[in-house]
Structure 1
Amino acid sequence: MSKLYEISERYKNIQVLLDNPELPDGEIKKALDNIGEEFDLKVENVAKIISSMDSDTEGIEKEIRRLQEREKIMKNRIKGLKNYIYEQMQVTGKKKIKGVLFTLAIQKNAPSVNILDENAIPEKYRVPQPFKLDKKAILTDLKQDI
Protein backbone atom coordinates (compact mmCIF):
# COMPACT_ATOMS: atom_id res chain seq x y z
CA MET A 1 0.00 0.00 0.00
CA SER A 2 1.31 3.40 -0.90
CA LYS A 3 1.98 6.20 1.51
CA LEU A 4 -0.55 9.02 1.66
CA TYR A 5 1.89 11.58 0.26
CA GLU A 6 2.67 9.23 -2.64
CA ILE A 7 -1.02 8.93 -3.44
CA SER A 8 -1.34 12.72 -3.33
CA GLU A 9 1.61 12.93 -5.71
CA ARG A 10 -0.15 10.55 -8.11
CA TYR A 11 -3.18 12.85 -8.06
CA LYS A 12 -0.92 15.73 -9.05
CA ASN A 13 0.58 13.65 -11.86
CA ILE A 14 -2.88 12.76 -13.18
CA GLN A 15 -3.81 16.44 -13.14
CA VAL A 16 -0.79 17.06 -15.39
CA LEU A 17 -1.89 14.21 -17.67
CA LEU A 18 -5.36 15.74 -17.94
CA ASP A 19 -3.78 18.54 -19.94
CA ASN A 20 -2.57 15.96 -22.49
CA PRO A 21 -5.29 15.71 -25.17
CA GLU A 22 -3.83 12.44 -26.56
CA LEU A 23 -4.59 10.41 -23.41
CA PRO A 24 -7.97 8.58 -23.59
CA ASP A 25 -10.60 9.60 -21.01
CA GLY A 26 -11.19 6.00 -19.96
CA GLU A 27 -7.60 5.57 -18.82
CA ILE A 28 -7.69 8.76 -16.75
CA LYS A 29 -10.95 7.74 -15.02
CA LYS A 30 -9.59 4.27 -14.28
CA ALA A 31 -6.42 5.71 -12.76
CA LEU A 32 -8.42 8.23 -10.73
CA ASP A 33 -10.75 5.51 -9.39
CA ASN A 34 -7.82 3.32 -8.30
CA ILE A 35 -6.09 6.19 -6.58
CA GLY A 36 -9.35 7.39 -5.03
CA GLU A 37 -10.10 4.04 -3.38
CA GLU A 38 -6.54 3.68 -2.14
CA PHE A 39 -6.51 7.29 -0.91
CA ASP A 40 -9.83 6.86 0.94
CA LEU A 41 -8.60 3.68 2.61
CA LYS A 42 -5.34 5.32 3.63
CA VAL A 43 -7.13 8.38 5.05
CA GLU A 44 -9.50 6.13 6.99
CA ASN A 45 -6.52 4.20 8.43
CA VAL A 46 -4.87 7.46 9.46
CA ALA A 47 -8.16 8.49 11.14
CA LYS A 48 -8.11 5.15 13.03
CA ILE A 49 -4.58 5.91 14.25
CA ILE A 50 -5.69 9.37 15.36
CA SER A 51 -8.63 7.85 17.25
CA SER A 52 -6.34 5.33 18.94
CA MET A 53 -3.86 8.04 19.91
CA ASP A 54 -6.71 10.17 21.23
CA SER A 55 -7.78 7.29 23.50
CA ASP A 56 -4.18 6.91 24.65
CA THR A 57 -3.93 10.59 25.56
CA GLU A 58 -7.15 10.34 27.61
CA GLY A 59 -5.62 7.43 29.53
CA ILE A 60 -2.41 9.38 30.04
CA GLU A 61 -4.36 12.39 31.34
CA LYS A 62 -6.20 10.15 33.84
CA GLU A 63 -2.90 8.64 34.97
CA ILE A 64 -1.39 12.12 35.39
CA ARG A 65 -4.34 13.16 37.59
CA ARG A 66 -4.00 9.95 39.63
CA LEU A 67 -0.27 10.50 40.12
CA GLN A 68 -0.78 14.17 41.02
CA GLU A 69 -3.28 13.13 43.70
CA ARG A 70 -0.83 10.54 44.97
CA GLU A 71 1.93 13.17 45.04
CA LYS A 72 -0.31 15.47 47.07
CA ILE A 73 -1.05 12.70 49.56
CA MET A 74 2.65 11.83 49.88
CA LYS A 75 3.64 15.48 50.41
CA ASN A 76 0.99 15.83 53.12
CA ARG A 77 2.28 12.67 54.83
CA ILE A 78 5.85 13.98 54.69
CA LYS A 79 4.72 17.27 56.19
CA GLY A 80 2.82 15.40 58.91
CA LEU A 81 5.82 13.24 59.76
CA LYS A 82 8.11 16.28 59.91
CA ASN A 83 5.66 18.00 62.25
CA TYR A 84 5.51 14.83 64.37
CA ILE A 85 9.32 14.77 64.71
CA TYR A 86 9.38 18.49 65.52
CA GLU A 87 6.65 18.19 68.18
CA GLN A 88 8.32 15.17 69.80
CA MET A 89 11.69 16.93 69.87
CA GLN A 90 9.99 19.94 71.47
CA VAL A 91 8.30 17.75 74.09
CA THR A 92 11.53 15.96 74.99
CA GLY A 93 13.58 19.18 74.88
CA LYS A 94 16.05 17.79 72.35
CA LYS A 95 17.43 20.39 69.95
CA LYS A 96 19.58 17.99 67.91
CA ILE A 97 19.57 14.28 67.18
CA LYS A 98 22.55 12.73 65.42
CA GLY A 99 21.83 9.42 63.74
CA VAL A 100 23.73 7.13 61.40
CA LEU A 101 22.17 8.56 58.24
CA PHE A 102 20.55 11.80 59.36
CA THR A 103 21.17 14.63 61.76
CA LEU A 104 17.99 16.40 62.79
CA ALA A 105 17.98 19.76 64.49
CA ILE A 106 15.50 22.40 65.52
CA GLN A 107 16.77 25.73 64.29
CA LYS A 108 15.57 29.26 64.24
CA ASN A 109 14.54 30.47 60.82
CA ALA A 110 14.61 34.11 59.80
CA PRO A 111 11.34 35.86 60.63
CA SER A 112 8.93 36.45 57.78
CA VAL A 113 6.16 38.96 57.21
CA ASN A 114 2.63 38.02 56.22
CA ILE A 115 0.73 41.01 54.77
CA LEU A 116 -3.06 40.77 55.07
CA ASP A 117 -3.94 44.20 53.63
CA GLU A 118 -1.41 45.88 51.32
CA ASN A 119 -3.36 49.15 51.39
CA ALA A 120 -2.69 49.49 55.12
CA ILE A 121 1.09 49.56 54.58
CA PRO A 122 2.68 53.07 54.61
CA GLU A 123 4.12 54.50 51.39
CA LYS A 124 7.73 54.33 52.65
CA TYR A 125 7.61 50.51 52.35
CA ARG A 126 6.44 50.54 48.73
CA VAL A 127 8.90 49.87 45.92
CA PRO A 128 8.09 51.25 42.46
CA GLN A 129 7.77 48.53 39.82
CA PRO A 130 8.43 48.83 36.09
CA PHE A 131 5.30 48.79 33.95
CA LYS A 132 4.13 45.54 32.40
CA LEU A 133 2.32 45.13 29.07
CA ASP A 134 -1.15 43.60 29.15
CA LYS A 135 -0.66 41.10 26.31
CA LYS A 136 -4.12 39.58 26.75
CA ALA A 137 -5.76 42.97 26.19
CA ILE A 138 -3.57 43.56 23.12
CA LEU A 139 -4.58 40.16 21.71
CA THR A 140 -8.27 40.85 22.38
CA ASP A 141 -8.06 44.20 20.60
CA LEU A 142 -6.21 42.65 17.65
CA LYS A 143 -8.88 39.97 17.31
CA GLN A 144 -11.60 42.63 17.26
CA ASP A 145 -9.84 44.53 14.46
CA ILE A 146 -9.72 41.45 12.23
Structure 2
Amino acid sequence: MATLYELRGSYAQIQQMIEEGAEGLEEILKTVEGAIEEKLESYVMVMKNFEAEATICATEEKRFKERKNTALNGVKRMKQAIVDTMNESKRDEVKTEKFKINFRNNAPSVHIEDESLIPDEFIKIERTISKAELAARLKEAEIPGAKLVASKSLQVR
Protein backbone atom coordinates (compact mmCIF):
# COMPACT_ATOMS: atom_id res chain seq x y z
CA MET A 1 0.00 0.00 0.00
CA ALA A 2 1.17 3.52 -0.76
CA THR A 3 2.32 5.86 1.97
CA LEU A 4 0.21 8.82 3.01
CA TYR A 5 2.78 11.11 1.39
CA GLU A 6 2.46 9.25 -1.94
CA LEU A 7 -1.34 9.25 -1.72
CA ARG A 8 -1.38 13.02 -1.14
CA GLY A 9 0.79 13.48 -4.24
CA SER A 10 -1.43 11.20 -6.34
CA TYR A 11 -4.56 12.96 -5.13
CA ALA A 12 -3.14 16.38 -6.01
CA GLN A 13 -2.04 15.15 -9.47
CA ILE A 14 -5.41 13.62 -10.32
CA GLN A 15 -7.25 16.66 -8.98
CA GLN A 16 -5.12 18.94 -11.18
CA MET A 17 -5.70 16.72 -14.25
CA ILE A 18 -9.48 16.86 -13.68
CA GLU A 19 -9.33 20.66 -13.34
CA GLU A 20 -7.36 20.81 -16.62
CA GLY A 21 -10.16 18.93 -18.38
CA ALA A 22 -8.95 15.31 -18.43
CA GLU A 23 -11.89 12.93 -18.55
CA GLY A 24 -12.60 9.63 -16.82
CA LEU A 25 -10.41 10.32 -13.81
CA GLU A 26 -13.26 10.69 -11.31
CA GLU A 27 -13.26 6.93 -10.60
CA ILE A 28 -9.50 6.91 -10.01
CA LEU A 29 -9.93 9.92 -7.71
CA LYS A 30 -12.56 8.01 -5.67
CA THR A 31 -10.11 5.08 -5.34
CA VAL A 32 -7.35 7.38 -4.14
CA GLU A 33 -9.78 9.10 -1.72
CA GLY A 34 -10.74 5.67 -0.32
CA ALA A 35 -7.08 4.77 0.09
CA ILE A 36 -6.43 8.08 1.84
CA GLU A 37 -9.33 7.48 4.25
CA GLU A 38 -8.04 3.99 5.00
CA LYS A 39 -4.51 5.30 5.57
CA LEU A 40 -5.78 8.15 7.80
CA GLU A 41 -7.76 5.63 9.85
CA SER A 42 -4.59 3.56 10.28
CA TYR A 43 -2.68 6.66 11.37
CA VAL A 44 -5.33 7.46 13.98
CA MET A 45 -5.18 3.88 15.29
CA VAL A 46 -1.40 4.17 15.71
CA MET A 47 -1.85 7.60 17.35
CA LYS A 48 -4.31 6.09 19.85
CA ASN A 49 -1.75 3.38 20.69
CA PHE A 50 0.94 6.04 21.25
CA GLU A 51 -1.44 8.03 23.46
CA ALA A 52 -2.19 4.92 25.54
CA GLU A 53 1.53 4.22 25.86
CA ALA A 54 2.14 7.83 26.93
CA THR A 55 -0.55 7.49 29.61
CA ILE A 56 1.06 4.31 30.91
CA CYS A 57 4.46 6.05 30.96
CA ALA A 58 2.99 9.01 32.88
CA THR A 59 1.52 6.63 35.46
CA GLU A 60 4.84 4.82 35.82
CA GLU A 61 6.67 8.14 36.00
CA LYS A 62 4.41 9.20 38.89
CA ARG A 63 4.97 5.87 40.65
CA PHE A 64 8.76 6.11 40.24
CA LYS A 65 8.73 9.72 41.45
CA GLU A 66 6.88 8.65 44.59
CA ARG A 67 9.33 5.81 45.07
CA LYS A 68 12.28 8.18 44.58
CA ASN A 69 10.85 10.65 47.10
CA THR A 70 10.32 7.84 49.63
CA ALA A 71 13.94 6.76 49.23
CA LEU A 72 15.24 10.34 49.53
CA ASN A 73 13.11 10.94 52.63
CA GLY A 74 14.60 7.78 54.14
CA VAL A 75 18.10 9.12 53.45
CA LYS A 76 17.15 12.46 55.02
CA ARG A 77 15.78 10.79 58.19
CA MET A 78 18.84 8.54 58.53
CA LYS A 79 21.22 11.47 57.99
CA GLN A 80 19.44 13.42 60.72
CA ALA A 81 19.67 10.41 63.05
CA ILE A 82 23.45 10.26 62.42
CA VAL A 83 23.79 14.01 63.13
CA ASP A 84 21.73 13.71 66.33
CA THR A 85 23.72 10.69 67.53
CA MET A 86 27.08 12.33 66.82
CA ASN A 87 25.99 15.55 68.55
CA GLU A 88 24.66 13.68 71.61
CA SER A 89 27.86 11.65 71.89
CA LYS A 90 29.95 14.82 71.33
CA ARG A 91 31.80 13.38 68.34
CA ASP A 92 32.89 15.37 65.30
CA GLU A 93 34.34 12.37 63.49
CA VAL A 94 33.78 8.61 63.39
CA LYS A 95 35.95 6.22 61.42
CA THR A 96 34.75 2.76 60.54
CA GLU A 97 36.25 0.07 58.37
CA LYS A 98 34.30 1.30 55.33
CA PHE A 99 33.46 4.96 56.01
CA LYS A 100 34.70 8.13 57.60
CA ILE A 101 31.81 10.18 59.00
CA ASN A 102 32.53 13.75 60.03
CA PHE A 103 31.19 17.29 60.11
CA ARG A 104 32.65 19.85 57.74
CA ASN A 105 32.41 23.61 57.87
CA ASN A 106 30.29 24.96 55.01
CA ALA A 107 30.81 28.29 53.29
CA PRO A 108 28.83 31.08 54.94
CA SER A 109 25.32 31.50 53.52
CA VAL A 110 23.18 34.63 53.43
CA HIS A 111 20.20 34.80 55.77
CA ILE A 112 17.72 37.64 55.07
CA GLU A 113 16.35 39.04 58.33
CA ASP A 114 14.37 42.00 56.91
CA GLU A 115 13.95 42.24 53.14
CA SER A 116 12.77 45.87 53.30
CA LEU A 117 16.20 46.98 54.55
CA ILE A 118 18.13 45.45 51.62
CA PRO A 119 19.43 48.12 49.15
CA ASP A 120 17.80 48.17 45.67
CA GLU A 121 21.07 47.24 43.93
CA PHE A 122 20.67 43.67 45.27
CA ILE A 123 17.04 43.28 44.23
CA LYS A 124 16.21 41.82 40.81
CA ILE A 125 12.75 42.04 39.28
CA GLU A 126 11.61 39.67 36.54
CA ARG A 127 9.54 41.07 33.71
CA THR A 128 6.69 38.83 32.54
CA ILE A 129 3.89 39.34 30.04
CA SER A 130 0.34 38.40 30.97
CA LYS A 131 -0.84 36.83 27.72
CA ALA A 132 -4.43 36.47 29.00
CA GLU A 133 -4.72 40.20 29.76
CA LEU A 134 -2.93 41.08 26.52
CA ALA A 135 -5.34 38.89 24.51
CA ALA A 136 -8.34 40.56 26.13
CA ARG A 137 -7.01 44.03 25.30
CA LEU A 138 -6.09 43.01 21.73
CA LYS A 139 -9.75 42.14 21.13
CA GLU A 140 -10.57 45.80 21.82
CA ALA A 141 -7.64 47.64 20.22
CA GLU A 142 -4.29 47.22 18.49
CA ILE A 143 -1.17 47.05 20.62
CA PRO A 144 2.27 47.55 19.04
CA GLY A 145 4.42 44.41 19.22
CA ALA A 146 1.53 41.95 19.56
CA LYS A 147 -1.39 40.60 17.56
CA LEU A 148 -4.03 37.89 17.86
CA VAL A 149 -3.39 34.93 15.57
CA ALA A 150 -6.05 32.31 14.84
CA SER A 151 -4.90 28.74 14.26
CA LYS A 152 -6.33 25.27 13.74
CA SER A 153 -5.69 22.07 15.63
CA LEU A 154 -6.48 18.51 14.66
CA GLN A 155 -9.37 16.88 16.47
CA VAL A 156 -9.97 13.13 16.35
CA ARG A 157 -13.20 11.74 17.82
TM above 0.5: yes
Determine whether 1:99 maps to 2:92: no
1:82 to 79, 82, 85: 79
Which structure is richer in relative contact order (CA contacts within 8 A, separation 6 or more)? Answer: 1
**Shift in Å at residue 115 of structure 1?**
4.3
- SS at structure 2 position matched to 1:97: strand
TM-score, normalised to structure 2, is 0.74
Determine whether 1:133 maps to 2:127: yes
Bigger fraction of residues in helix: 1
1:6-45 correspondence to structure 2 within 5 Å:
6-21=6-21, 23-24=22-23, 27-45=24-42
Determine whether 1:55 maps to 2:52: yes
36-45 or 91-100, larger mean C-alpha shift:
91-100
Q: Write the letter of the residue equivalent to 1:3.
A: T
> Aligned partners of 1:138 and 1:107: how far apart in 2?
48
- SS at structure 1 position matched to 2:127: coil
5+ unaligned residues in a row in structure 2: which ranges? 139-147, 149-157
What's the % identity of the aligned pairs? 21
TM-score, normalised to structure 1, is 0.79
Aligned length: 138
Change (3 A) 1:6 1:143: farther
> Aligned partners of 2:54 and 2:13: how far apart in 1?
38
- SS at structure 2 position matched to 1:75: helix
**Shift in Å at residue 19 of structure 1?**
3.4
Change (3 A) 1:67 1:139: same
* 2:67 corresponding residue in structure 1: 70
**Shift in Å at residue 75 of structure 1?**
1.0
Q: Write the letter of the residue equivalent to 1:133.
A: R
Q: Can you list the C-alpha shifts for 1:30-87, whole angstroms capped at 9, x where unaligned?
A: 1011101111000000000111111111111111111111111111100111111111
